[in-house]
Amino acid sequence: MNIDLSGKTALVTGSTAGIGHAIARGLAASGATVVVNGRTQGKVDSAVAAITKAVPGAKVRGVAADVSTAEGCKALLAALPSVDILINNAGIFEPKGFFDIPDEDWSRFYEVNVMSGVRLSRAYMPGMLKRNWGRIVFISSESALNIPKEMIHYGMTKTAQLAVARGLAEMTRGNRGDGQFGVARADDVGGRRDLRQGSGQAERPVGRGGGRPLRQAAPPDVAGRALCQCRGDRQHGGLCQLKGSLRHQRCCIAR
């Protein structure tokens, strides 16, 4: 069963490539008006063109803004004041030994992976609450629970995403109580097996391309289908609608 998101506007950060691009394409196929986001106008334009070609009749446009900074988030909000669905996908990772990670790397990873979602959620969630409908999804990782020793700073940010998403979900209980804000636990790193085998991969933006590709635990399309499709059976309770619960995401990805 596909979700009908006609009339809804969805923003997917870091969606010019990878998981973010797959999710944007899936949302467009579900009828949503999709806003692609990336750091450069060229990559944004290319991603918009690719989705338009892949999904006939798709309603898609792009906004170039670096959501890793407060200024970039402000620019994005100025271009897109309101959304119904926010997919916090933008992020970076980098294999580096714990003793070699300086303070500035911890701060940089936190700004990109956590604060981008915090700032956008803080801006868009009030409108969702006022309209009594909304979805906020953080694309986290297995690294949030099984912290990789080669990327402890990355794992820390993924755990923080779970905490933010859980807190936002708690804030909605008095409003609708339908779990409309949650976390999608898709493995946006991939390639941990490759990293352990000695890949010297430099910092690589997740979902935005760059660097030598690493093998992922699952193709990007799997995460897109997990968010945009549902069997609608009793196990799911027909509640796919981007609830993003951990149980639901495991079930969809495994089917």
Measured between its terminal Cα atoms, the distance across the chain in Å is 13
Non-local (6+) Cβ contacts of 21 within 8 A are 15, 36, 47, 50, 51, 207, 220
Positions marked catalytic: 154
Structure tokens at 206: 């997740």
CA 19, CA 216: separation in Å to the nearest integer? 10
Instruction: Find the DSSP H helices in the chain.
Output: 18-29, 41-54, 70-79, 103-110, 116-131, 152-171, 192-196, 220-228, 246-254
- Provide the residue type at 81 as one letter: P
